Amino acid sequence: MSEDRLARIEAELERLKPSLSERLEKLEKLAAEKPAGGWPRFFKWLGSALPTLLASAVMLFLGYWIKDSVDIAIKQQTLQLSYVKEMKEQLLAMANKDAAVEEVERAAVLVAGFGTPAVLPLMNELRYGGNRALGAESGLRSLAFMQPESVCPVVLRVLQSPARPLGWEGHAAAARTLAAGNCMDALPILKLHEAQLRPAENGTRVDVSALVADTPDLSQQKEWLKSLKSSVARLEASSKRGT
């Protein structure tokens, strides 16, 4: 970041160089004219030292400007590194297999506090199922409440991905996140997935290899279907309310 800022400053100096040279030439001409009092007399008194003095003042100003810009860039990088470190610590807490679900959810909500950069790490946690998926869902839902525009497109894209990165638990958690965030664009997709799972309700196990990465048994498919139906119903209710 600091290298880019310095490059922009150097480019700005190159742009200003012709203008500064032109102004110095004008001042030299003004200093050579017969003084009539006021500023012309002052310029005449400075004589040939005027251009040097002006150039020094300009360089002093630019020096302070460059220093401040670099200091700001360094502080921004330091702050970002502290954010990364803090997020990493919370993600490690989420990955602790001995952590209670309340601890995992608390860590996920703290990760969500970092805003948009937290979406992808939390989506990655959905892949693991269990407490990690439940915790990631808590984080994503809290983030979707504040910034649905950051969460909805990413979660929906993952659900539609042919790579099938999620298991059935992660898929259900993602669907609940979309419903909680009022992600109305997700409604057709969730209804389609619900329809594909519907035979499980009558005791027929469904081939869900096109939806998820794992192979849930019939009882798991029924639980998944129940969650999907709830998410669809929530979005449909929001659609009727016009929200």
CA–CA separation, 123 vs 178, rounded Å?
Answer: 12
Q: At CA 178, angle to CA 172 and CA 180, rounded to 5?
A: 100
Q: Per the structure block, which two tokens stand in for 78?
A: 């330091």
If you average pLDDT over residues 57-83, what whole number do you get? 55
If you average pLDDT over residues 28-47, what whole number do you get? 52
Predicted local distance difference test score (pLDDT) of residue 219: 96
CB atoms inside a 10 Å sphere around CB 55: 13
If you average pLDDT over residues 135-154, what whole number do you get? 90
Contact call for residues 142 and 123 (beta carbons, < 8 A)? no
Q: At CA 54, angle to CA 51 and CA 59, rounded to 5?
A: 120
The full length of the chain comes to: 243
If you average pLDDT over residues 34-48, what whole number do you get? 51
pLDDT higher than threshold 80 for residue 22: no
CA–CA separation, 58 vs 117, rounded Å?
Answer: 40
pLDDT in tens, 152-198: 999 999 999 999 999 999 999 999 999 999 999 999 999 999 999 99
pLDDT higher than threshold 60 for residue 69: no
Contact call for residues 231 and 190 (beta carbons, < 8 A)? yes
For residues 180 and 16, the model is more confident at: 180
Q: At CA 139, angle to CA 192 and CA 241, rounded to 5?
A: 50
pLDDT in tens, 77-131: 554 545 567 777 888 888 888 888 889 888 888 888 888 888 888 998 898 888 8
The model's confidence at residue 45, banded by pLDDT at 50, 70 and 90, is: very low
Residue environment code for 1-21, b if the CB has 16+ CB neighbours within 10 A, otherwise e? eeeebeeeeeeeeeeeeeeee
pTM: 0.65
- HSE toward the beta carbon, residue 134, CA cutoff 13 A: 11
Q: Which ranges of the chain does DSSP label H, i.e. alpha helix?
A: 2-32, 39-46, 49-95, 101-112, 119-125, 130-146, 148-160, 168-180, 187-197, 218-241
Predicted local distance difference test score (pLDDT) of residue 145: 86
Which range, of 32-46, 128-142, 163-177, averages the lowest pLDDT? Answer: 32-46
CA–CA separation, 235 vs 179, rounded Å?
Answer: 6
Residue environment code for 30-49, b if the CB has 16+ CB neighbours within 10 A, otherwise e? ebeeeeeeeeeeebbeeeee
CA–CA separation, 197 vs 186, rounded Å?
Answer: 17
If you average pLDDT over residues 223-239, what whole number do you get? 94
If you average pLDDT over residues 42-56, what whole number do you get? 54
Predicted local distance difference test score (pLDDT) of residue 153: 94
Contact call for residues 180 and 144 (beta carbons, < 8 A)? yes
